[in-house]
Amino acid sequence: MNQRLTIIGGSLMALLMSSTVSLAQNYPGSYSQQGGNQGDYRDQRSQQQRGDNAPYTRTIIVPMPQARVKSPVDLLEQSINKVIKFLSQPRQASLEQMTFFLNKEIAPHFDFDYMSRYVAGRYYKVMSAEQQQQFNKTFTELFITTFVQKMSNYQKYPPVVGDFISRRTRDNEAMASAKIYQESGANIQVDFKFLKSPRGWKVVDVRANGISALLYYRNYFTQQIRRRDQHQAVFN
């Protein structure tokens, strides 16, 4: 039984790694200072270390204001503006440069661990820890590769994006949306599902005209596993 589960986990890994290209193509606190008289302070005067004429100093500890947690729509608009600015460069970027840009500026706003677990579904639990880690890594690369290919289509004519809106669907869940206006007159509604984590709001799914990327990947890999199981091509 354990051997079978290990093979299942490895098979899903192999499917993901071998399907990268085809799927990508087909997817439709404080600081201190001296002086002053505001804030909390500690009297650091020591009678044992200096005389009465020694200079008297106080350390002022001023609480730093906490940074406002950005809302999902703020994160979405900020990220899209970065993409448009990148695409608007006079010289077209290579696929490698796009990949580097996305990994640095956009990927940190996604929760790829959550997305990987959802895509693998019940098969994720039968993977070893090493297989799970590799699956997460490979899925992230697949997702970024798809993003790069879609992004490259807008190099000559960066898109016009507007109508940024967001709504809370649950206490820790929100949907932020925007419209991409194309020269052909057709508009694309893009919805980003966010979940709130200890690290702030993170994207866990992207929908284009109602089609979920996460559900697309999950259905694809589930079908492939079942097909191979039925034909006994993997689990023998």
Q: Which of 195, 182, 190 is nearest to 210 (CA)?
A: 190
Query: Is residue 111 domain-resident?
Result: yes
Residue bearing tokens 């192999």 = 14
What is the sign, positive or negative, of the torsion defined by CA atoms of 110, 114, 212, 172? negative
Residues 6 or more apart whose CB falls under 8 angstroms from that of 210 comprise 189, 191
Query: Is residue 90 domain-resident?
Result: yes
Written as one string, the DSSP assignment of 108-143 is: GGB-HHHHHHHHHGGGGGGS-HHHHHHHHHHHHHHH
Q: Which of 116, 102, 83 is nearest to 9 (CA)?
A: 116
Q: So what's the pLDDT on residue 166? A: 84
Q: Is the pTM of this model over 0.75?
A: no
Q: So what's the pLDDT on residue 221? A: 84
Q: So what's the pLDDT on residue 154? A: 83
Query: Is residue 174 domain-resident?
Result: no
Range of the structural domain that residue 13 is part of: 2-19+69-159+212-230
213-230 vs 2-18: helix crossing angle, rounded to 10: 130
Tell me how many domains the chain contains.
Answer: 1
pLDDT band at 167 (very low <50, low <70, confident <90, very high): confident
Query: Is residue 235 domain-resident?
Result: no
pLDDT band at 160 (very low <50, low <70, confident <90, very high): confident
Q: Give, as one character, the DSSP assignment of residue 102.
A: I
Query: Is residue 110 domain-resident?
Result: yes
One-letter identity of residue 42: R
Average pLDDT rounded to a whole number, residues 120-137: 91
Query: Is residue 134 domain-resident?
Result: yes
φ, ψ for residue 191, nearest 5 deg: -115, 135
If you average pLDDT over every residue of the chain, what do you get?
75
Query: Is residue 170 domain-resident?
Result: no
The answer to whether 79 and 106 are in contact (CB under 8 A) is: yes
Distance CA 43, CA 147 (A): 57
Written as one string, the DSSP assignment of 171-202 is: TTEEEEEEEEEPTTS-EEEEEEEEEEETTEEE
pLDDT band at 12 (very low <50, low <70, confident <90, very high): low
The answer to whether 60 and 82 are in contact (CB under 8 A) is: no
Q: So what's the pLDDT on residue 7? A: 47
Q: Which of 209, 214, 143 is nearest to 178 (CA)?
A: 209
Query: Is residue 45 domain-resident?
Result: no
